[in-house]
């Protein structure tokens, strides 16, 4: 379904663009793209293009970090037995790996606890805390969780544990009774108020990394080189889909260089089972779609401990078999995801046709709770409607919701909060649970909440366009420059351009679902291959000889080692769609 094309910015360019471009040694085209993306001074552009570690914010800029590091360093110096409590997703597992690896490097032992997603769920639980207490743990650090675990931390206090919370999730009204808390999203802590933390968007692993950097300064003896852990940080940050701007961009860009070197056996093995060369340079997309799901598969299908073992493996002999197991789990997860997706799409179509639902509530008793979230995103992609996917366990329905930017799903769910046993989330994603008998009431009310907000008529997805770009302007110089904008992801999307009207010369199917076109400009001076993934049905052979416009991202394809410029088609229009 073609989208509505919107220019990223309608602002007029300032006359200073050529000067800025010359000073930075970049083309005016790149300066123009950056300007329209909000980098509106030479300094801003420079920082974006050269995100060196020296530009990273100081750890001490994170609320609560000084006290947290002090409590940890004191405890370690007193010989307190320590454990770190992480999470089963990539952010949580890499956070745990950063803490354990760093402390080991400094000569301190640290146990860990990763909750089982299916049996325990997210965050701290008292039973787990008791187990750690029985093992003699006296000091507990939470990473990527803990900020809303007030009762569990009170229980740990009663057992005589010292608890330090490091998290990046939004704090509740009341903070947990921990000995110290560090979280870039705290606005008030320990009698201090904080405004606009430059690290507000750090992932859990980013916060854990900064905390260890601060602990590094306080512990007696020679400090470690914290840069060695940036591969973990990049992996967790990309997987957590936080904005790849500011400190996250700096951490990820530098961490990706380490991932290329693949010095850590676990990451080297992970690259190989994901289908990459051991020493290949990989981008954020490949980490997000290749490496991260294999780490996640471990937690999704049960035990996240194996993922941690892989990340921290000391040699290839240990790493290879674990990577293989994770790869197999990931294949299982993918097969399961495909099956659930087919069922969900069929249900969604029926709900739309039969009941013209604006908000979709899809349900099957046996859908896997670790997978419904990913599938919900795919359903939203297809139909552009807020979607809740539900499964059931012991009479309790559990759900995962994904939304479109026009419908704040957490606010929407708040209007019916009395239905839920539990719910939480943010603008685009949420989770909830309720009693099975409330299913049809929930379905009606969710649909109504969506209609109240966006109206009866379904909305169309829109696509942000950087600018129009004639085929003749697409060359290796441009592609090299666009490279500088990497890594792409949330908050820093890959540039999308539009063609002027071009003629379709050839069409060749690639497998069943994809298609490769050859397009040429008006004067037929430039021909270019253009690949459209999953668009074979829409872009049929009747298009040969017709004139169309495409939205695209240019790429260098290295098929058989020979570099070739080609376009990746994002969208198309046969109409004279205005920008
Ligand atoms: Mn996280």
Q: For the chain, what is the mean pLDDT? A: 94
- Please tell me the distance between residue 187's alpha carbon and the centre of ligand 1 in angstroms: 19
- Please tell me the distance between residue 252's alpha carbon and the centre of ligand 1 in angstroms: 15
- Please tell me the distance between residue 119's alpha carbon and the centre of ligand 1 in angstroms: 19
**CA 75, 76, 79: angle at the middle one, nearest 5?**
90
- Please tell me the distance between residue 145's alpha carbon and the centre of ligand 1 in angstroms: 8
- Please tell me the distance between residue 484's alpha carbon and the centre of ligand 1 in angstroms: 27
Residues forming a β-bridge with 392: 397
Strands of 309-439, DSSP E: 360-363, 387-393, 396-402, 420-425, 429-435
- CB 245, CB 131: distance < 8 Å: no
Res. 301: pLDDT tops 80: no
Range scoring the smallest mean pLDDT among 41-50, 57-66, 138-147, 298-307:
298-307
**What residues have CB less than 8 Å from 488, skipping those under 6 apart?**
244, 283, 284, 285, 494
- Please tell me the distance between residue 214's alpha carbon and the centre of ligand 1 in angstroms: 20
Architecture of the structural domain at 356-454:
Roll (3.10)
How many residues belong to the chain?
579
Cite the DSSP H helix spans in 106-245: 126-134, 150-158, 204-218, 230-239
- Please tell me the distance between residue 89's alpha carbon and the centre of ligand 1 in angstroms: 8
Q: How far are the Cα atoms of 114, 143, 163, 241 from residue 235, in angstroms, in the given order?
A: 18, 15, 26, 10
Residue percentage of the chain with pLDDT more than 90: 85
- Please tell me the distance between residue 15's alpha carbon and the centre of ligand 1 in angstroms: 42
Q: How far are the Cα atoms of 498, 531, 539 from residue 572, in angstroms, in the given order?
A: 9, 12, 9
281 CA to centre of own chain? 19
Res. 579: pLDDT tops 60: no
358 CA to centre of own chain? 27
Q: At what angle do helices 42-49 and 17-24 cross, to 10 degrees?
A: 40
Please state, in angstroms and rounded to a whole number, the distance separating the CA atoms of residues 348 and 276. Answer: 36
Range scoring the smallest mean pLDDT among 177-186, 205-214, 570-579:
570-579
Average pLDDT over residues 460-476: 94
First to last CA, the chain: 17
- Please tell me the distance between residue 343's alpha carbon and the centre of ligand 1 in angstroms: 29
- CB 149, CB 176: distance < 8 Å: yes
pLDDT value at residue 2: 81
Residues less than 5 Å from ion ligand 1, measured at CB: 91, 144, 204, 240
Task: Please report which confidence band the pLDDT of residue 422 belongs to, taking 50, 70 and 90 as the band edges.
Answer: confident
Give the three-class secondary structure for 318. Answer: helix
Tokens found for residue 129: 């805390």
- Please tell me the distance between residue 206's alpha carbon and the centre of ligand 1 in angstroms: 9
Residue whose pair of structure tokens reads 């500011």 in the numeric block: 246
- The domain defined by 59-243 folds into inorganic pyrophosphatase (n-terminal core) (3.90.1640)
Residue scoring higher pLDDT (326 or 524): 326
- CB 390, CB 396: distance < 8 Å: no
Q: Please state which of the four CATH numbers 2.60.40.10, 2.40.50.460, 3.30.70.890, 3.30.70.260 is assigned to the domain occupying 4-50+463-573.
A: 2.40.50.460
Cα torsion 9, 12, 15, 21 to 10°: value is: 10
- Please tell me the distance between residue 94's alpha carbon and the centre of ligand 1 in angstroms: 10
- Please tell me the distance between residue 96's alpha carbon and the centre of ligand 1 in angstroms: 12
- CB 388, CB 375: distance < 8 Å: no
**What residues have CB less than 8 Å from 3, skipping those under 6 apart?**
460, 461, 462, 463, 551, 571
Helix (H) or strand (E) segment spanning residue 467: strand 467-468
- CB 287, CB 238: distance < 8 Å: yes
pLDDT in tens, 214-233: 999 999 999 999 999 999 99
Q: In b/e form, how buried is each residue of 318-337, taking b as 16+ CB within 10 angstroms?
A: bbbebbebbbebbeebeebb
- Please tell me the distance between residue 432's alpha carbon and the centre of ligand 1 in angstroms: 18
- Please tell me the distance between residue 519's alpha carbon and the centre of ligand 1 in angstroms: 43
Res. 578: pLDDT tops 70: no
- Please tell me the distance between residue 93's alpha carbon and the centre of ligand 1 in angstroms: 10
- CB 160, CB 41: distance < 8 Å: no
Task: Please report which confidence band the pLDDT of residue 577 belongs to, taking 50, 70 and 90 as the band edges.
Answer: very low
Same fold across 4-50+463-573 and 356-454: no
- Please tell me the distance between residue 240's alpha carbon and the centre of ligand 1 in angstroms: 6
pLDDT value at residue 575: 67
What percent of the residues of the chain are helix, what percent strand, and what percent coil, each to the nearest 5? 45, 20, 35
pLDDT in tens, 145-202: 999 999 999 999 999 999 999 999 989 889 999 999 999 999 999 999 998 888 999 9
- Please tell me the distance between residue 146's alpha carbon and the centre of ligand 1 in angstroms: 11
Give the three-class secondary structure for 323. Answer: helix
Give the three-class secondary structure for 164. Answer: strand
Helix (H) or strand (E) segment spanning residue 305: helix 305-311
Instruction: Choose among 138, 133, 134, 72: nearest CA to 99.
Output: 72
pLDDT value at residue 122: 86
DSSP state of 38: T
- CB 484, CB 30: distance < 8 Å: yes
- Please tell me the distance between residue 460's alpha carbon and the centre of ligand 1 in angstroms: 30
- Please tell me the distance between residue 489's alpha carbon and the centre of ligand 1 in angstroms: 16
**CA 57, 490, 510: angle at the middle one, nearest 5?**
145
- Please tell me the distance between residue 242's alpha carbon and the centre of ligand 1 in angstroms: 9
Please state, in angstroms and rounded to a whole number, the distance separating the CA atoms of residues 389 and 409. Answer: 13
DSSP state of 492: B
Phi, psi of 173 (to 5 degrees): -65, -45
Per-residue three-class SS string for 199-218: CCCCCHHHHHHHHHHHHHHH
pLDDT in tens, 47-96: 999 999 999 999 999 999 999 999 999 999 999 999 999 999 999 999 99
- Please tell me the distance between residue 97's alpha carbon and the centre of ligand 1 in angstroms: 14
Range scoring the smallest mean pLDDT among 163-167, 533-537, 571-575:
571-575
- Please tell me the distance between residue 204's alpha carbon and the centre of ligand 1 in angstroms: 5
- Please tell me the distance between residue 121's alpha carbon and the centre of ligand 1 in angstroms: 14
- Please tell me the distance between residue 269's alpha carbon and the centre of ligand 1 in angstroms: 24
pTM score > 0.85 for this model?
yes
Query: What are the sequence ranges of the domains in the chain?
Result: 4-50+463-573, 59-243, 356-454
Please state, in angstroms and rounded to a whole number, the distance separating the CA atoms of residues 527 and 471. Answer: 8
Res. 576: pLDDT tops 80: no
- Please tell me the distance between residue 159's alpha carbon and the centre of ligand 1 in angstroms: 27
pLDDT value at residue 426: 82
- Please tell me the distance between residue 237's alpha carbon and the centre of ligand 1 in angstroms: 8
Please state, in angstroms and rounded to a whole number, the distance separating the CA atoms of residues 284 and 242. Answer: 12
Task: Please report which confidence band the pLDDT of residue 478 belongs to, taking 50, 70 and 90 as the band edges.
Answer: very high
Alpha-carbon Rg for the chain, nearest whole angstrom, is 25
Give the three-class secondary structure for 430. Answer: strand
- Please tell me the distance between residue 236's alpha carbon and the centre of ligand 1 in angstroms: 8
- Please tell me the distance between residue 239's alpha carbon and the centre of ligand 1 in angstroms: 9
């Amino acid at each position: 379904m073609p989208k509505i094309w919107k220019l990223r910015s309608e602002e007029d360019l300032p006359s200073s663009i050529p000067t800025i471009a010359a000073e930075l040694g970049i083309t005016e085209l790149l300066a123009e793209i950056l300007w329209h993306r909000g980098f509106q001074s030479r300094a801003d552009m420079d920082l974006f293009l050269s995100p060196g570690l020296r530009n990273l914010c100081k750890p001490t800029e994170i609320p609560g970090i000084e006290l947290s590091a002090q409590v940890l360093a004191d405890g370690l110096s007193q010989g307190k037995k320590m454990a770190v409590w992480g999470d089963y997703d990539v952010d949580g597992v890499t956070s745990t790996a950063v803490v354990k690896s760093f402390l080991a490097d400094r000569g301190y032992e640290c146990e860990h606890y990763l909750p089982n997603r299916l049996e325990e769920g997210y965050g701290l639980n008292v039973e787990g805390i008791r187990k750690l207490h029985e093992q003699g743990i006296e000091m507990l650090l939470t990473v990527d969780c803990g900020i809303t675990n007030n009762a569990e931390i009170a229980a740990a206090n009663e057992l005589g544990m010292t608890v330090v919370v490091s998290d990046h999730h939004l704090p509740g009204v009341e903070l947990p009774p921990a000995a110290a808390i560090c979280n870039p999203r705290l606005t008030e802590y320990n009698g201090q108020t904080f405004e606009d933390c430059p690290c507000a968007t750090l992932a859990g692993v980013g916060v854990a990394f900064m905390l260890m950097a601060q602990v590094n300064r306080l512990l007696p003896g020679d400090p470690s080189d914290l840069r060695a852990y940036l591969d973990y940080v990049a992996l967790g940050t990309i997987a957590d889909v936080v904005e790849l701007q500011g400190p996250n961009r700096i951490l990820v860009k530098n961490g990706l260089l380490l991932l290329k070197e693949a010095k850590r056996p676990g990451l080297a093995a992970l690259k190989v089972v994901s289908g990459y060369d051991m020493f290949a340079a990989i981008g954020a997309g490949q980490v997000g779609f290749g490496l991260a799901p294999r780490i996640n598969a471990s937690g999704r299908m049960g035990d996240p401990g194996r993922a941690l073992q892989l990340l921290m493996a000391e040699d290839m002999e240990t790493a290879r078999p674990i990577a293989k197991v994770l790869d197999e789990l990931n294949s299982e997860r993918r097969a399961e995801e495909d099956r659930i997706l087919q069922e969900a799409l069929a249900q969604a179509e029926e709900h739309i046709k039969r009941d013209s639902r604006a908000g979709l509530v899809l349900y099957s008793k046996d859908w896997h709770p670790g997978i419904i979230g990913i599938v919900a995103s795919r359903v939203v992609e297809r139909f552009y409607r807020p979607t809740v996917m539900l499964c059931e366990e012991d009479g309790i329905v559990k759900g995962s919701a994904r939304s479109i930017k026009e419908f704040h799903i957490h606010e929407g769910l708040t209007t019916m909060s009395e239905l839920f046993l539990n719910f939480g989330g943010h603008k685009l994603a949420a989770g909830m649970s309720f009693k099975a008998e409330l299913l049809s009431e929930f379905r009606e009310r969710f649909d109504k909440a969506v209609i109240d907000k966006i109206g009866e008529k379904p909305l169309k997805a829109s696509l942000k366009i950087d600018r129009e770009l004639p085929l003749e302007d697409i060359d290796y110089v441009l592609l090299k420059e666009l490279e500088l904008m990497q890594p792409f992801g949330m908050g820093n999307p890959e540039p999308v351009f539009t063609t002027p009207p071009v003629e379709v010369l050839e069409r060749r199917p690639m497998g069943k679902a994809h298609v490769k076109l050859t397009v040429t400009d008006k004067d037929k001076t430039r021909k270019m291959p253009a690949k459209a993934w999953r668009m074979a049905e829409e872009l049929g052979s009747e298009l040969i000889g017709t004139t169309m416009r495409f939205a695209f991202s240019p790429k260098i394809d290295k098929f058989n080692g020979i570099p070739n410029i080609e376009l990746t088609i994002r969208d198309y229009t046969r109409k004279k769609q205005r920008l």
